[in-house]
Amino acid sequence: MNNAVMLLEFNDIRKSYGEKVALHVPSWTMQSGEVVGLVGSNGAGKTTFLRLLLDLLEPDSGQVLFEGRSVVHDQSWRLTTGSFLDRSFLIEYLTIGEYLEFVGATYGLRKADVARAIEPFTNFLPVSTADSRRLIRDLSTGNAKKVGIAAALFVAERLLVLDEPFANLDPPSQIRLKQHLLRLSGQGLSMLISSHDLGHVTDVCSRITLIGRGEILRDEARSEETLESLESYFSSEETGELT
Amino acid sequence: MRALIQRKSWITWLVIGFVTFYVISTLLTLGFFFESFSRLTLPGVSPVLVVNQYLLAAFLSLFFIRFLFQKTPRMKIVPYLHLPVSRTSLATFFQVSSLATVHNVYPFLFFIPFWMRFVVPDAGLAAASSWMLAVVLLILASHFAILYLRSTLQQHTGLFYVLTLLLVVTAVIDEWLGAGLQRMLSEFLFTDILRGSLLGTAFVASFTALGVVLSTRSLLSGLRPDPPSATREHPWLRLPRTAERLLAADWGAEGQLIRLELLLMWRNRRPRHYLIISLLFSTMYLAFMLGPGNRITGAGMNALIGLFASGGFILNYGQLMFGWDSSYYPALVTRNIAYRTLVKSKLVVLQASCLVLFAISLPLFLLLAPDRMDVHFAFLFYNAGITSVLVMELAARNRQAIDIGRSGGFFNYEGLSSRHWIWFIPTALPPVLFMMAMGNHRQLALGILASVGFVSIMATNLWARYFARGLQARKQRMLTGFRE
């Protein structure tokens, strides 16, 4: 970790919707190779965090840096970042193959290159004959999500950003996804994963950032006690206690 | 132009106010002072007789306007389907509430004053009341017929082409061959009603009742979910193989984006309907404009014909070039796609559409108006070079999301703001005004328009860079608008 370079920096980020502060992050950093899990209740600010990182939202103040460069002013982060937040990342009138080809082409990959790049993830895709010929909009929520995640996985060179990747997936797919994430993490890919599934996120991530009411409440390396501590936090969240 | 667009809110309201005032005052004036107009066009004929002759034609025109704009209640019902209320009750409620539309109101701005000034004194209160009842019933019949037609067309798209063909054949027989069938039928029906016959009113009433029953039944049957649109079940959802090969080859991101644009039109109901309507404008409407019975000459009319003949698609579809992408805009802006590439692919599609429409409407010019071939050629370049850029300027500032799969009916402009229509004026007006200003120097005017268009086509890369800068600057506003 000592040789790792700074990949992401949130500097005095503030995002409000009217009077309500959705996110306020005075300082947060992530180094290359880290796998960070973002956890928090609904409306805590996790998705806002990811949207700011992907330049899908404009902060009221502060800036997000990717390898030292502002994600707003220098779009080079898109070259090496794979992301999937929700269905708006899918082009639903394409078939699975067409969508993957399209995503690949935007990264300069030809059809054959796409087939090679996606090959390690084929066990995660809905590959039945019926599904492969269907338009994405006709797939189930879970299967459509698999397509989006797979597209993010195969183009991510430096950073992978996923929002609730385990939600809506059947158990075998959750296990396969976890295996893929662990393998990619072993290869040095940096990841930022938001999830409500505390078990999966603590299995995959080496660091956990807990967000609540738009602020970072806790940010620490995963340990043996992390899962228990998070469960304890969420079970007492209503009373506002932080154990 | 940019400054004008930035001030769109009050300009939009100003134009809406002006257009509303114009329409209301025109209809009221026509209703109150119809004899002044009929004296000019049909001297010596009673105003009531003139109106009776053209009532069916007027209702047909209103029917066309309804077809484009009238909303269907289908999408409104869907959120209530899970409630413990019978579907028939829901359908009845929404059918009745759908009557509250401007399409059922504005015709009365003409009919009420006309009825008071001319029909009552001419035929007496009793017969005049029957006449007004028939008018009301026809408005209701049009309303429900539109609901039925659009719902039926949604389930049987092929019917649209059959009906269009039928309309063309009827119009040709009626207008071009001079049969005047609709005028005869209209005069017969309404003069009969004014003579106190109940048969005519009963005929219109039964037509209305049929409309109510059919539209309600069709609304109920249309509430079943749409079947999956698997390519396996609909092979036509694939682009033609040649196009696939051409586009899927190694054209890189630009080729993929053009392919995406074509698939968007091919596979999604609303963009596809816009494409079909654009083709109809550029062929059928053009045929009527150029036809012997309707031939209107003049520099301004030439410009309008030229604009629509090859630019019909751009004018109809182009303003929404980014709106169509609204549901997956994040998929485009988080990928490694340069805005310049995105804009260029869209400009190329718009320019190519001019060439396709030019070729499609070329036989019409050769057959009906060979003397206007120069207009057609000049506007090919003008539309591809300038109209495409003007429309792209509007598209790049559109922040309204468009639901590409919205299944409220076969086709309409539902969901489009008045802005879409208002900005059509500055897009179409410059060449019209220019041609009119040039007066008798038609060849010179066309030469200038074509040259400007040609230079603009050559500058496509520069335009792409210009629009890319604007899109980058407005990225967050567009994302926010599309999310909302």
The band of B231, judged by pLDDT with boundaries at 50, 70 and 90, is very low
> Chains A, B: CB contacts under 8 A, how many?
87
Put simply, the answer to whether A137 touches B255 (Cβ < 8 Å) is: no
* Residue finishing a domain among B221, B242, B263: B221
Contact A134 B256 (CB under 8 A): no
In a domain, B126, yes or no: yes
- In this structure, are B277 and B191 located in the same domain? no
- Residue A120 Cα, gap to closest chain B Cα (Å): 21
Q: Residue A100's closest chain B neighbor by CA? A: B256
Write out chain A residues lying below 8 Å of B244, CB-based.
none
Per-residue pLDDT, B228: 46
B-chain CB neighbours of A85 within 8 Å are 330
Q: Of B175, B201, B221, which residue sits at a domain end?
A: B221
Chain B residues with CB-CB distance to A111 below 8 A: 248
pLDDT at A1: 44
Looking at the domain assignment, is residue B228 inside a domain? no
- Give the residue-averaged pLDDT of B378-387: 96
- Taking CA–CA distances from B339, the nearest residue in chain A reads A75
Cβ within 8 Å, pair B237-A54: no
Judging contacts by C-beta atoms under 8 Å, the chain A residues touching residue B256 are: 101-102, 105-106
**Alpha-carbon gap: A35 to the closest alpha carbon of chain B (Å):** 20
Query: How confident is the model at residue B195, as a pLDDT?
Result: 84
B289 in the same domain as B181:
no
Q: Residues in chain B whose beta carbon is closer than 8 A to a beta carbon of chain A?
A: 228-232, 237, 248, 250, 252-253, 255-256, 259-260, 263-264, 267-268, 327-331, 333-337, 404-405, 475-476, 479
Contact B331 A108 (CB under 8 A): no
User: Which candidate from A58, A88, A135 shows the least CB-CB separation from B229?
Assistant: A135
The pLDDT value given to residue B461: 95
Evaluate if residue B39 carries a pLDDT over 90.
no
- Same domain for B81 and B119? yes
At A31 the pLDDT is 94
pLDDT at residue A127 above 80?
A: no
Q: Which of A176-180, B150-154, B479-483 has the lowest mean pLDDT?
A: B150-154
Q: What are the tens digits of pLDDT across the range A62-106?
A: 999 999 999 999 989 999 999 999 999 999 999 898 899 889 988
List the single residue in A93, A98, A110 with the smallest CB-CB distance to B250: A110
Residue-wise pLDDT for B311-365, tens only, equals 989 988 888 889 899 999 999 999 989 999 999 999 999 999 999 999 999 988 8
User: In the structure encoding, which two tokens stand for residue A191, read together?
Assistant: 């990841």
Q: Is residue B375 part of a domain?
A: yes
Which candidate from A54, A88, A105 shows the least CB-CB separation from B327?
A: A88
Domain assignment present for B472: yes
Closest CB from B230, B237, B336 relative to A78: B336
| B288 and B201 assigned to the same domain | no
Same domain for B340 and B195, yes or no, is no
Contacts of B263 in chain A (CB under 8 A): 93-94, 98
pLDDT at position B233: 43
Predicted local confidence at residue B232, as pLDDT: 42
Residues of A with CB under 8 A from a CB of B: 54-58, 78-79, 81, 83, 85, 88-95, 98, 101-103, 105-108, 110-111, 130, 133-135, 137-138, 155
Q: What is the pLDDT of residue B411?
A: 57
Provide the pLDDT for residue B417: 59
**Whole-number pLDDT of residue B175:** 65
DSSP-derived letter for residue A214 is T
Backbone angles phi, psi at A61, to 5 degrees: -155, 165
From A4's Cα to the closest Cα of chain B, the distance in A is: 25
Residue type, B3: A
Report if residue B232 sits inside a domain.
no
- Within this chain, do residues B34 and B115 fall inside the same structural domain, yes or no? yes
Considering only the beta carbons, identify the residue of B230, B263, B331 that sits closest to A133: B230
Give the number of domains in chain B.
Answer: 2
Looking at every residue in chain A, the average pLDDT score rounds to 89
Of A95, A106, A130, the CB nearest to B256: A106
Is residue B302 located within the same domain as residue B206? no
Name every chain B residue with its beta carbon within 8 A of the beta carbon of A79: 336
The yes-or-no verdict on residue B408 having pLDDT over 50 is no
Which residues from A are below 8 Å from B336, CB to CB? 78-79, 106-108, 155
Instruction: Write the residue in A56, A95, A134 that is nearest to B228 by C-beta.
Output: A134
Residues of B with CB below 8 A from A56's CB? 330, 333-334, 479
B89/chain A closest Cα distance in angstroms: 31
Query: Scanning every residue of chain B, which has its alpha carbon at the shortest distance from the alpha carbon of A80?
Result: B336
User: CB distance B229–A137 less than 8 Å?
Assistant: yes
B331 with A107: Cβ contact below 8 A: no
* pLDDT single digits (tens) B65-118: 888 777 777 777 877 877 878 888 888 888 888 888 888 999 999 999 999 999
Q: What is the domain extent for residue B73?
A: 24-221
B130 to chain A, closest Cα gap in Å? 53
Give the single-character DSSP code of A243: -
Mutate one of A81, A102, A128 to test the B interface: name it (highest B CB count within 10 A).
A102
Q: How far is A66 from chain B (nearest CA, A)?
A: 14
The pLDDT score that the predictor gives to residue B339 is 92
User: Secondary structure of chain A: what % helix, strand, coil (to 5)?
Assistant: 40, 25, 30
Same domain flag for B266 and B379: yes
**Can you tell me the distance from the alpha carbon of A123 to that of A126, in angstroms, rounded to the nearest whole number?**
8
Residue B3, in any domain of the structure:
no
| pLDDT(B1) > 50 | no
A108 neighbourhood in chain B, CB within 8 Å: 252-253, 336
Q: What percent of chain B has pLDDT over 90?
A: 30
At B209, the pLDDT band (50, 70, 90 cuts) reads: very high
Q: Which of B221, B243, B271 is the last residue of a domain?
A: B221
**Is the Cβ pair A138, B230 closer than 8 Å?**
yes
Summarize pLDDT for A34-43 with one digit per residue, the tens: 999 999 988 8
- Tell me, yes or no, whether B176 and B266 share the same domain: no
The fraction of chain A above a pLDDT of 90, given in percent, is 62
Is B79 part of a structural domain of the chain?
A: yes
Interface contact flag, A56 B333, Cβ < 8 Å: yes
Return the pLDDT at B405.
65
B281 or B144: which carries more pLDDT confidence?
Answer: B144
CB contact under 8 A, A88 and B329: yes
Q: Are residues B164 and B59 in the same domain?
A: yes
Contact criterion met (CB < 8 Å) for B230 and A105: no
On chain B, the residues whose CB falls within 8 A of the CB of A98 are 263
Q: Is the same domain home to B213 and B256?
A: no
Please check whether residue B452 is in contact with residue B335, taking contact to mean a CB–CB distance below 8 angstroms. no
Considering the domain boundaries, does residue B2 fall inside one? no
Smallest Cα distance from A134 to chain B, Å: 5
- The verdict on a CB contact (< 8 Å) between B231 and A102 is no
Residues B216 and B312 in one domain: no
Round the average pLDDT of chain B to a whole number and report it. Answer: 82
Cα distance between residue B99 and residue B76, in whole Å: 14
Contact A78 B264 (CB under 8 A): no
Q: Over the stretch B364-377, which tens digit does the pLDDT of each residue have?
A: 888 888 888 999 99
User: Which of B229, B231, B256 is nearest residue A102 as measured by Cβ atoms?
Assistant: B256
Contacts of B372 (CB under 8 A, 6+ apart): B290, B302, B305, B365
